[in-house]
Amino acid sequence: MSMTSRRGLLARSAGAVALTLAPSSCAATVNTPRERALIAADGRVDWDALRAQFRLERGWVNLALFYLASHPEAVRDAVDHLRAQADANPLSVPTGMALPDGPTGWPRVRESLAAYMGGRAEDIAMTASTSIGLGVVYNGVVTRPGQEFLLTEHDHVSHRTAARLAAEKHGNKVRQVSWFSDPATATADGIAAAVGEVIRPNTRVVGITWVQSSTGLRMPVRAVAEVVRRANEGRSPADRCLLVVDGVHGLAAVDEDAAGLGADVVIAGTHKWLFGPRGTGLIWVAPDVLEQLRPTFVSFISGAAAAPLSPGGFLAFEHAFALPVAVALHEQLGRARVATRITQLSTRVKQGLSRIRGVTVHTPADPELSAGITCFSVAGHTHQQVVDHAAADNVRLSTSTFTRIGTAVINTPAEIDTALNSLADLTG
Ligand SMILES: Cc1ncc(COP(=O)(O)O)c(C=O)c1O
Protein backbone atom coordinates (compact mmCIF):
# COMPACT_ATOMS: atom_id res chain seq x y z
CA MET A 1 0.00 0.00 0.00
CA SER A 2 1.41 3.43 -0.87
CA MET A 3 2.32 5.92 1.83
CA THR A 4 -0.45 8.24 0.68
CA SER A 5 -3.15 5.61 0.76
CA ARG A 6 -1.95 4.32 4.13
CA ARG A 7 -2.15 7.88 5.41
CA GLY A 8 -5.66 8.23 4.00
CA LEU A 9 -6.73 5.03 5.70
CA LEU A 10 -5.36 6.16 9.03
CA ALA A 11 -6.98 9.56 8.70
CA ARG A 12 -10.32 7.89 8.06
CA SER A 13 -9.82 5.61 11.04
CA ALA A 14 -8.99 8.74 13.05
CA GLY A 15 -12.45 10.03 12.30
CA ALA A 16 -13.83 6.68 13.31
CA VAL A 17 -11.95 6.76 16.60
CA ALA A 18 -13.11 10.27 17.38
CA LEU A 19 -16.69 9.33 16.67
CA THR A 20 -16.91 5.97 18.37
CA LEU A 21 -14.97 6.34 21.60
CA ALA A 22 -17.31 6.28 24.53
CA PRO A 23 -16.94 9.45 26.60
CA SER A 24 -15.31 8.80 29.96
CA SER A 25 -17.29 9.68 33.03
CA CYS A 26 -15.04 12.62 33.88
CA ALA A 27 -14.38 14.00 30.41
CA ALA A 28 -15.61 17.48 29.49
CA THR A 29 -18.72 17.10 27.41
CA VAL A 30 -19.21 20.54 25.92
CA ASN A 31 -17.72 21.56 22.61
CA THR A 32 -15.99 18.21 22.20
CA PRO A 33 -15.11 17.09 18.68
CA ARG A 34 -18.05 14.73 18.76
CA GLU A 35 -20.30 17.77 18.71
CA ARG A 36 -17.90 20.06 16.93
CA ALA A 37 -15.94 18.90 13.88
CA LEU A 38 -12.22 19.50 13.92
CA ILE A 39 -12.15 20.06 10.17
CA ALA A 40 -14.55 22.66 8.78
CA ALA A 41 -16.37 22.26 5.45
CA ASP A 42 -13.74 24.41 3.72
CA GLY A 43 -10.99 22.01 4.85
CA ARG A 44 -9.59 24.30 7.52
CA VAL A 45 -8.84 23.07 11.01
CA ASP A 46 -11.02 24.50 13.76
CA TRP A 47 -8.15 25.08 16.21
CA ASP A 48 -10.57 26.22 18.92
CA ALA A 49 -12.39 22.89 18.67
CA LEU A 50 -9.08 21.11 19.09
CA ARG A 51 -8.19 23.30 22.05
CA ALA A 52 -11.51 22.39 23.66
CA GLN A 53 -10.26 18.79 23.88
CA PHE A 54 -7.63 19.78 26.44
CA ARG A 55 -8.06 20.26 30.16
CA LEU A 56 -5.47 23.00 30.48
CA GLU A 57 -5.82 25.12 33.58
CA ARG A 58 -8.06 28.06 32.80
CA GLY A 59 -6.76 31.58 33.24
CA TRP A 60 -3.24 30.66 32.19
CA VAL A 61 -1.39 31.11 28.91
CA ASN A 62 0.74 27.99 28.55
CA LEU A 63 3.66 28.46 26.17
CA ALA A 64 5.57 25.45 27.46
CA LEU A 65 3.36 22.72 26.06
CA PHE A 66 6.30 20.98 24.38
CA TYR A 67 7.49 19.89 27.83
CA LEU A 68 5.07 17.02 28.33
CA ALA A 69 1.76 16.45 26.58
CA SER A 70 -1.53 17.39 28.11
CA HIS A 71 -3.77 14.60 26.83
CA PRO A 72 -6.46 15.63 24.34
CA GLU A 73 -9.89 14.21 25.02
CA ALA A 74 -9.58 11.53 22.34
CA VAL A 75 -6.41 10.22 24.05
CA ARG A 76 -7.90 10.47 27.55
CA ASP A 77 -10.91 8.46 26.45
CA ALA A 78 -8.74 5.84 24.77
CA VAL A 79 -6.59 5.49 27.90
CA ASP A 80 -9.70 5.15 30.09
CA HIS A 81 -11.13 2.56 27.71
CA LEU A 82 -7.95 0.46 27.83
CA ARG A 83 -7.46 0.88 31.57
CA ALA A 84 -10.90 -0.58 32.21
CA GLN A 85 -9.90 -3.68 30.24
CA ALA A 86 -6.58 -4.08 32.05
CA ASP A 87 -8.28 -3.69 35.43
CA ALA A 88 -11.07 -6.13 34.57
CA ASN A 89 -8.73 -8.80 33.23
CA PRO A 90 -5.01 -8.13 33.57
CA LEU A 91 -4.43 -11.31 31.59
CA SER A 92 -5.84 -9.50 28.56
CA VAL A 93 -2.65 -7.45 28.36
CA PRO A 94 -0.53 -7.17 26.31
CA THR A 95 -2.20 -9.14 23.51
CA GLY A 96 -5.96 -8.87 23.96
CA MET A 97 -6.73 -5.18 24.29
CA ALA A 98 -8.99 -3.22 21.97
CA LEU A 99 -9.92 0.35 21.18
CA PRO A 100 -13.57 0.84 20.21
CA ASP A 101 -12.72 0.53 16.52
CA GLY A 102 -10.72 -2.68 16.85
CA PRO A 103 -7.81 -4.48 18.46
CA THR A 104 -4.78 -2.54 19.59
CA GLY A 105 -1.32 -3.63 20.62
CA TRP A 106 2.27 -3.25 19.50
CA PRO A 107 1.61 -4.14 15.82
CA ARG A 108 -1.03 -1.43 15.51
CA VAL A 109 1.06 1.10 17.42
CA ARG A 110 4.08 0.56 15.19
CA GLU A 111 2.03 0.49 11.97
CA SER A 112 0.30 3.76 12.81
CA LEU A 113 3.65 5.43 13.56
CA ALA A 114 5.21 4.16 10.32
CA ALA A 115 2.25 5.49 8.33
CA TYR A 116 2.73 8.87 9.99
CA MET A 117 6.52 9.21 9.92
CA GLY A 118 7.48 7.04 6.94
CA GLY A 119 9.52 3.87 6.90
CA ARG A 120 8.44 0.39 7.89
CA ALA A 121 6.69 -0.64 11.11
CA GLU A 122 9.32 -3.33 11.73
CA ASP A 123 12.05 -0.68 11.86
CA ILE A 124 10.42 0.99 14.86
CA ALA A 125 11.27 0.00 18.43
CA MET A 126 9.08 1.27 21.24
CA THR A 127 10.31 3.04 24.38
CA ALA A 128 8.76 5.02 27.22
CA SER A 129 10.62 8.28 26.46
CA THR A 130 13.29 9.98 24.39
CA SER A 131 15.76 9.54 27.23
CA ILE A 132 15.26 5.77 27.36
CA GLY A 133 15.55 5.60 23.57
CA LEU A 134 18.84 7.51 23.65
CA GLY A 135 20.18 5.17 26.34
CA VAL A 136 19.16 2.10 24.34
CA VAL A 137 20.84 3.43 21.19
CA TYR A 138 24.16 4.60 22.67
CA ASN A 139 24.47 1.47 24.82
CA GLY A 140 23.55 -0.67 21.85
CA VAL A 141 25.91 0.67 19.19
CA VAL A 142 28.57 -1.89 18.48
CA THR A 143 31.89 -0.07 18.96
CA ARG A 144 35.56 -0.76 19.24
CA PRO A 145 37.52 0.85 22.07
CA GLY A 146 38.86 4.20 20.91
CA GLN A 147 35.90 5.06 18.70
CA GLU A 148 34.15 8.31 19.55
CA PHE A 149 30.71 9.89 19.70
CA LEU A 150 30.48 13.51 18.49
CA LEU A 151 27.94 15.81 20.14
CA THR A 152 27.55 19.47 21.05
CA GLU A 153 26.69 21.36 24.22
CA HIS A 154 23.35 22.22 22.57
CA ASP A 155 22.13 18.62 22.64
CA HIS A 156 19.88 17.74 25.56
CA VAL A 157 21.39 16.47 28.79
CA SER A 158 19.64 13.12 28.19
CA HIS A 159 21.51 12.80 24.89
CA ARG A 160 24.91 13.86 26.23
CA THR A 161 24.53 11.67 29.30
CA ALA A 162 23.45 8.62 27.32
CA ALA A 163 26.53 9.01 25.11
CA ARG A 164 28.86 9.56 28.08
CA LEU A 165 27.57 6.62 30.13
CA ALA A 166 27.82 4.25 27.17
CA ALA A 167 31.26 5.57 26.21
CA GLU A 168 32.58 5.05 29.75
CA LYS A 169 31.39 1.44 29.71
CA HIS A 170 32.68 0.50 26.31
CA GLY A 171 36.00 2.31 26.12
CA ASN A 172 34.79 5.05 23.81
CA LYS A 173 35.03 8.84 24.06
CA VAL A 174 32.56 11.67 23.71
CA ARG A 175 34.01 14.66 21.85
CA GLN A 176 31.98 17.84 22.31
CA VAL A 177 32.21 20.15 19.31
CA SER A 178 30.21 23.12 17.91
CA TRP A 179 28.23 23.36 14.69
CA PHE A 180 27.91 27.16 14.94
CA SER A 181 29.12 30.04 17.08
CA ASP A 182 25.74 31.78 17.29
CA PRO A 183 22.48 29.91 16.60
CA ALA A 184 20.73 33.10 15.45
CA THR A 185 23.10 33.53 12.49
CA ALA A 186 23.77 29.85 11.72
CA THR A 187 23.20 28.63 8.17
CA ALA A 188 22.48 25.16 6.82
CA ASP A 189 25.62 25.21 4.67
CA GLY A 190 27.75 26.40 7.58
CA ILE A 191 26.44 23.66 9.86
CA ALA A 192 26.96 20.93 7.26
CA ALA A 193 30.50 22.17 6.59
CA ALA A 194 31.26 22.21 10.33
CA VAL A 195 30.12 18.58 10.63
CA GLY A 196 32.30 17.60 7.67
CA GLU A 197 35.35 19.23 9.24
CA VAL A 198 35.20 17.40 12.57
CA ILE A 199 34.41 13.80 11.54
CA ARG A 200 37.49 11.59 12.05
CA PRO A 201 38.17 8.01 10.99
CA ASN A 202 37.31 6.85 14.55
CA THR A 203 34.00 8.78 14.71
CA ARG A 204 31.34 6.13 15.25
CA VAL A 205 28.35 8.41 15.93
CA VAL A 206 27.46 11.98 15.03
CA GLY A 207 24.65 12.76 17.47
CA ILE A 208 22.44 15.72 16.59
CA THR A 209 19.09 17.15 17.65
CA TRP A 210 16.43 17.77 15.01
CA VAL A 211 15.11 20.82 16.87
CA GLN A 212 17.31 21.89 19.76
CA SER A 213 15.42 22.69 22.94
CA SER A 214 18.36 24.82 24.11
CA THR A 215 18.43 27.18 21.09
CA GLY A 216 15.30 26.45 19.04
CA LEU A 217 17.52 25.82 16.03
CA ARG A 218 16.31 23.16 13.59
CA MET A 219 19.28 21.19 12.30
CA PRO A 220 19.50 20.70 8.52
CA VAL A 221 19.39 16.93 8.96
CA ARG A 222 19.42 16.11 5.24
CA ALA A 223 22.51 18.22 4.58
CA VAL A 224 24.27 16.71 7.60
CA ALA A 225 23.29 13.20 6.42
CA GLU A 226 24.90 13.91 3.06
CA VAL A 227 28.15 14.98 4.75
CA VAL A 228 28.11 11.82 6.90
CA ARG A 229 27.41 9.70 3.82
CA ARG A 230 30.46 11.15 2.09
CA ALA A 231 32.62 10.55 5.17
CA ASN A 232 31.50 6.91 5.14
CA GLU A 233 32.71 6.24 1.60
CA GLY A 234 35.09 3.33 1.72
CA ARG A 235 34.43 2.56 5.42
CA SER A 236 33.54 -0.96 6.59
CA PRO A 237 30.25 -1.39 8.54
CA ALA A 238 32.19 -1.56 11.83
CA ASP A 239 33.84 1.79 11.08
CA ARG A 240 30.77 3.43 9.64
CA CYS A 241 29.84 6.75 11.21
CA LEU A 242 26.18 6.65 12.23
CA LEU A 243 23.96 9.73 12.24
CA VAL A 244 21.81 9.55 15.38
CA VAL A 245 19.04 12.14 15.66
CA ASP A 246 17.18 13.15 18.80
CA GLY A 247 13.97 13.95 16.93
CA VAL A 248 11.62 14.74 19.78
CA HIS A 249 10.90 18.39 18.92
CA GLY A 250 10.65 17.74 15.18
CA LEU A 251 8.15 14.90 15.23
CA ALA A 252 4.64 16.37 14.81
CA ALA A 253 6.08 19.90 14.63
CA VAL A 254 7.81 19.72 11.25
CA ASP A 255 6.18 18.47 8.05
CA GLU A 256 8.80 15.85 7.20
CA ASP A 257 8.95 12.06 7.27
CA ALA A 258 11.22 11.48 10.25
CA ALA A 259 12.29 8.20 8.67
CA GLY A 260 13.15 9.95 5.42
CA LEU A 261 15.61 12.55 6.70
CA GLY A 262 18.66 10.49 5.80
CA ALA A 263 19.52 9.70 9.43
CA ASP A 264 20.53 6.22 10.54
CA VAL A 265 18.59 6.37 13.80
CA VAL A 266 15.82 8.73 14.96
CA ILE A 267 14.71 8.72 18.58
CA ALA A 268 11.65 10.61 19.76
CA GLY A 269 9.28 10.74 22.67
CA THR A 270 5.73 10.72 21.37
CA HIS A 271 4.46 12.47 24.50
CA LYS A 272 5.31 16.02 23.48
CA TRP A 273 4.26 17.54 20.13
CA LEU A 274 2.33 14.45 19.02
CA PHE A 275 0.12 14.63 22.15
CA GLY A 276 0.65 10.91 22.67
CA PRO A 277 0.04 9.29 26.05
CA ARG A 278 2.67 10.21 28.63
CA GLY A 279 5.36 7.54 28.84
CA THR A 280 5.56 6.72 25.12
CA GLY A 281 8.32 7.06 22.56
CA LEU A 282 10.05 5.38 19.66
CA ILE A 283 13.35 4.52 18.04
CA TRP A 284 13.41 4.28 14.25
CA VAL A 285 16.41 2.45 12.80
CA ALA A 286 17.41 2.44 9.13
CA PRO A 287 17.29 -1.18 7.93
CA ASP A 288 20.90 -1.13 6.76
CA VAL A 289 22.29 -0.23 10.22
CA LEU A 290 20.16 -2.62 12.29
CA GLU A 291 23.11 -4.97 12.62
CA GLN A 292 25.13 -2.18 14.24
CA LEU A 293 22.78 -2.00 17.26
CA ARG A 294 22.46 -4.61 20.02
CA PRO A 295 19.55 -4.79 22.48
CA THR A 296 20.15 -3.80 26.10
CA PHE A 297 16.94 -5.14 27.66
CA VAL A 298 14.67 -8.07 27.12
CA SER A 299 11.99 -7.11 24.62
CA PHE A 300 8.34 -8.11 25.01
CA ILE A 301 7.61 -7.13 21.40
CA SER A 302 7.82 -10.11 19.12
CA GLY A 303 9.35 -9.90 15.68
CA ALA A 304 12.67 -9.21 14.04
CA ALA A 305 14.28 -6.00 12.75
CA ALA A 306 14.07 -3.22 15.39
CA ALA A 307 11.57 -4.93 17.72
CA PRO A 308 14.26 -6.53 19.96
CA LEU A 309 15.58 -3.04 20.81
CA SER A 310 12.36 -2.19 22.68
CA PRO A 311 12.89 -2.30 26.46
CA GLY A 312 10.46 -4.90 27.68
CA GLY A 313 8.60 -5.91 30.79
CA PHE A 314 4.97 -5.11 31.45
CA LEU A 315 4.40 -1.41 30.89
CA ALA A 316 1.54 1.07 31.21
CA PHE A 317 -0.27 -0.64 28.34
CA GLU A 318 -3.31 1.61 28.62
CA HIS A 319 -0.96 4.44 27.61
CA ALA A 320 1.22 2.59 25.12
CA PHE A 321 -1.68 1.09 23.20
CA ALA A 322 -3.64 4.36 23.03
CA LEU A 323 -0.86 5.91 20.96
CA PRO A 324 -2.58 5.18 17.60
CA VAL A 325 -5.36 7.54 18.69
CA ALA A 326 -2.91 10.44 19.04
CA VAL A 327 -1.39 9.58 15.68
CA ALA A 328 -4.86 9.40 14.15
CA LEU A 329 -5.70 12.82 15.58
CA HIS A 330 -2.62 14.26 13.91
CA GLU A 331 -3.45 12.50 10.65
CA GLN A 332 -6.86 14.09 10.81
CA LEU A 333 -5.39 17.54 11.45
CA GLY A 334 -2.81 17.00 8.71
CA ARG A 335 0.92 17.15 9.27
CA ALA A 336 1.36 20.09 6.90
CA ARG A 337 -1.43 22.10 8.53
CA VAL A 338 0.02 21.43 11.97
CA ALA A 339 3.50 22.53 10.88
CA THR A 340 2.13 25.65 9.18
CA ARG A 341 0.21 26.63 12.29
CA ILE A 342 3.28 26.13 14.49
CA THR A 343 5.41 28.19 12.09
CA GLN A 344 2.85 31.01 11.97
CA LEU A 345 2.73 31.18 15.75
CA SER A 346 6.50 31.02 16.23
CA THR A 347 7.02 33.67 13.55
CA ARG A 348 4.63 35.93 15.47
CA VAL A 349 6.70 35.27 18.59
CA LYS A 350 10.01 36.08 16.88
CA GLN A 351 8.71 39.23 15.22
CA GLY A 352 7.12 40.43 18.46
CA LEU A 353 10.21 39.72 20.54
CA SER A 354 12.46 41.55 18.09
CA ARG A 355 10.39 44.71 18.68
CA ILE A 356 10.88 44.63 22.46
CA ARG A 357 13.78 46.70 23.74
CA GLY A 358 16.52 44.69 25.44
CA VAL A 359 15.40 41.34 24.01
CA THR A 360 17.81 39.20 21.98
CA VAL A 361 16.34 36.32 20.00
CA HIS A 362 18.72 33.35 19.74
CA THR A 363 16.63 31.16 17.45
CA PRO A 364 17.09 31.63 13.70
CA ALA A 365 14.33 33.72 12.08
CA ASP A 366 14.30 31.39 9.06
CA PRO A 367 11.42 28.88 9.42
CA GLU A 368 13.58 26.29 7.66
CA LEU A 369 16.07 26.52 10.52
CA SER A 370 13.54 26.62 13.35
CA ALA A 371 10.22 25.10 14.41
CA GLY A 372 8.08 25.58 17.53
CA ILE A 373 10.64 26.64 20.13
CA THR A 374 11.88 30.25 20.30
CA CYS A 375 14.75 31.07 22.66
CA PHE A 376 15.63 34.56 23.84
CA SER A 377 17.30 36.65 26.56
CA VAL A 378 16.27 39.90 28.20
CA ALA A 379 19.09 42.31 29.03
CA GLY A 380 19.50 42.89 32.76
CA HIS A 381 17.37 39.92 33.78
CA THR A 382 18.18 36.30 34.46
CA HIS A 383 16.14 33.71 32.61
CA GLN A 384 14.46 32.70 35.86
CA GLN A 385 13.48 36.33 36.50
CA VAL A 386 11.87 36.49 33.07
CA VAL A 387 9.95 33.25 33.70
CA ASP A 388 8.85 34.50 37.14
CA HIS A 389 7.73 37.86 35.74
CA ALA A 390 5.65 36.13 33.06
CA ALA A 391 4.18 33.75 35.65
CA ALA A 392 3.00 36.75 37.67
CA ASP A 393 0.97 37.64 34.57
CA ASN A 394 -0.31 34.03 34.34
CA VAL A 395 1.94 33.17 31.42
CA ARG A 396 3.90 29.92 31.55
CA LEU A 397 7.35 30.06 29.94
CA SER A 398 10.31 27.74 30.49
CA THR A 399 14.10 27.94 30.51
CA SER A 400 17.08 25.85 29.64
CA THR A 401 20.10 27.74 28.27
CA PHE A 402 17.79 30.67 27.43
CA THR A 403 14.18 31.61 28.14
CA ARG A 404 11.84 29.70 25.82
CA ILE A 405 8.45 30.24 24.24
CA GLY A 406 6.97 27.08 22.77
CA THR A 407 4.13 27.43 20.30
CA ALA A 408 1.89 24.39 20.07
CA VAL A 409 -0.99 24.12 17.62
CA ILE A 410 -3.44 24.77 20.43
CA ASN A 411 -1.89 28.10 21.37
CA THR A 412 -3.44 31.21 19.85
CA PRO A 413 -2.15 34.51 18.44
CA ALA A 414 -3.91 36.27 21.33
CA GLU A 415 -1.99 34.18 23.87
CA ILE A 416 1.26 35.11 22.20
CA ASP A 417 0.36 38.77 22.35
CA THR A 418 -0.39 38.41 26.07
CA ALA A 419 3.08 36.95 26.60
CA LEU A 420 4.72 39.66 24.47
CA ASN A 421 2.90 42.40 26.41
CA SER A 422 4.09 40.89 29.67
CA LEU A 423 7.68 40.89 28.41
CA ALA A 424 7.35 44.45 27.12
CA ASP A 425 6.22 45.49 30.62
CA LEU A 426 9.32 43.89 32.10
CA THR A 427 11.68 45.96 29.99
CA GLY A 428 9.58 49.11 30.32
C1 LIG B 1 15.88 17.80 22.91
C2 LIG B 1 15.36 16.92 24.00
N3 LIG B 1 15.73 15.63 24.02
C4 LIG B 1 15.29 14.79 24.97
C5 LIG B 1 14.45 15.21 25.97
C6 LIG B 1 13.96 14.22 26.98
O7 LIG B 1 12.70 13.78 26.56
P8 LIG B 1 11.89 12.66 27.33
O9 LIG B 1 11.15 13.37 28.40
O10 LIG B 1 10.97 12.09 26.29
O11 LIG B 1 12.86 11.68 27.84
C12 LIG B 1 14.03 16.54 26.00
C13 LIG B 1 13.11 17.01 27.05
O14 LIG B 1 12.29 17.86 26.88
C15 LIG B 1 14.51 17.41 24.99
O16 LIG B 1 14.17 18.71 24.99
pLDDT tens digits, one per residue of 316-327: 999 999 999 999
Whether residue 370 is found in the same domain as residue 319: no
Whether residue 115 is found in the same domain as residue 211: yes
Q: Name the stretches of the chain with pLDDT < 50.
A: 1-33
- The pLDDT value given to residue 28: 35
Is residue 225 one of the residues assigned to a domain? yes
User: Under a CB-based contact definition with an 8 Å cutoff, are residues 409 and 50 in contact?
Assistant: yes
- The pLDDT value given to residue 153: 97
Q: Give the residue from 269, 298, 326 where a domain finishes.
A: 326
Is residue 2 one of the residues assigned to a domain? no
User: Under a CB-based contact definition with an 8 Å cutoff, are residues 82 and 17 in contact?
Assistant: no
pLDDT tens digits, one per residue of 94-123: 889 999 999 999 999 999 999 999 999 999
Q: Which positions ≥6 away from 2 have C-beta within 8 Å? A: none
Provide DSSP, 306-330: TGGGS--S---HHHHTTHHHHHHHH
Measure 278 CA to ligand 1 centroid, in angstroms: 12
Q: Which residue's CA is the closest to the ligand 1 atom numbered 13?
A: 67
Q: Give the residue from 281, 301, 326 where a domain finishes.
A: 326
Pairing assessment for the beta strands 265-269 and 61-62 based on DSSP bridges: unpaired
Our count of domains for the chain comes to 2
User: Looking at ligand 1, which atom is closest to the CA of residue 212?
Assistant: 1
Whether residue 144 is found in the same domain as residue 227: yes
Measure 12 CA to ligand 1 centroid, in angstroms: 31
Whether residue 258 is found in the same domain as residue 379: no
Of 214, 245, 248, 404, the residue with max ligand 1 atoms within 8 A of its CB, to mutate for a pocket test, comes to 248
Whether residue 289 is found in the same domain as residue 190: yes
Measure 23 CA to ligand 1 centroid, in angstroms: 31
Q: Which residue's CA is the closest to the ligand 1 atom numbered 8?
A: 130
Measure 130 CA to ligand 1 centroid, in angstroms: 6
Q: What is the rounded end-to-end Cα distance, in angstroms, of the chain?
A: 59
Is residue 45 one of the residues assigned to a domain? no
Our separate counts of H helices and E strands in the chain read 13, 15
Measured CA to CA in angstroms, residue 198 lies from 23, 192, 237, 265 at distances of 55, 10, 20, 20
Q: Which residue's CA is the closest to the ligand 1 atom numbered 3?
A: 156
CATH number, domain with residue 391:
3.90.1150.10
User: Under a CB-based contact definition with an 8 Å cutoff, are residues 370 and 217 in contact?
Assistant: yes
User: Under a CB-based contact definition with an 8 Å cutoff, are residues 150 and 166 in contact?
Assistant: no
- The pLDDT value given to residue 258: 98
- The pLDDT value given to residue 49: 95
Whether residue 403 is found in the same domain as residue 342: yes
Whether residue 268 is found in the same domain as residue 208: yes
Rg of the Cα atoms in the chain: 21
Is residue 381 one of the residues assigned to a domain? yes
User: Looking at ligand 1, which atom is closest to the CA of residue 155?
Assistant: 1
Of 136, 154, 158, the residue with max ligand 1 atoms within 8 A of its CB, to mutate for a pocket test, comes to 158
Kindly list the protein residues whose Cβ atom lies closer than 6 A to any atom of ligand 1: 129-131, 156, 158-159, 209, 213, 246, 248-249, 269, 281
Q: Which positions ≥6 away from 86 have C-beta within 8 Å? A: 92, 93, 97, 317, 318
Is residue 383 one of the residues assigned to a domain? yes
Is residue 17 one of the residues assigned to a domain? no
CATH number, domain with residue 199:
3.40.640.10
Percent of the chain with pLDDT over 90: 89
Q: Which positions ≥6 away from 206 have C-beta within 8 Å? A: 150, 195, 199, 224, 228, 241, 242, 243, 244
Single out the residue of 313, 248, 317, 312 nearest to residue 284, CA to CA.
Answer: 248
Whether residue 318 is found in the same domain as residue 355: no
- The pLDDT value given to residue 35: 53
Measure 86 CA to ligand 1 centroid, in angstroms: 29
Whether residue 260 is found in the same domain as residue 361: no
Measure 37 CA to ligand 1 centroid, in angstroms: 32
Residue 406 lies in domain:
336-427
User: Under a CB-based contact definition with an 8 Å cutoff, are residues 36 and 219 in contact?
Assistant: no
Whether residue 319 is found in the same domain as residue 398: no
Of 127, 213, 254, 275, the residue with max ligand 1 atoms within 8 A of its CB, to mutate for a pocket test, comes to 213
Q: Give the residue from 326, 359, 383 where a domain finishes.
A: 326
Measure 87 CA to ligand 1 centroid, in angstroms: 31
Is residue 163 one of the residues assigned to a domain? yes
Is residue 63 one of the residues assigned to a domain? no
- The pLDDT value given to residue 5: 41
Whether residue 157 is found in the same domain as residue 291: yes
- The pLDDT value given to residue 34: 52
Whether residue 235 is found in the same domain as residue 356: no
User: Looking at ligand 1, which atom is closest to the CA of residue 246?
Assistant: 3
User: Looking at ligand 1, which atom is closest to the CA of residue 271?
Assistant: 10
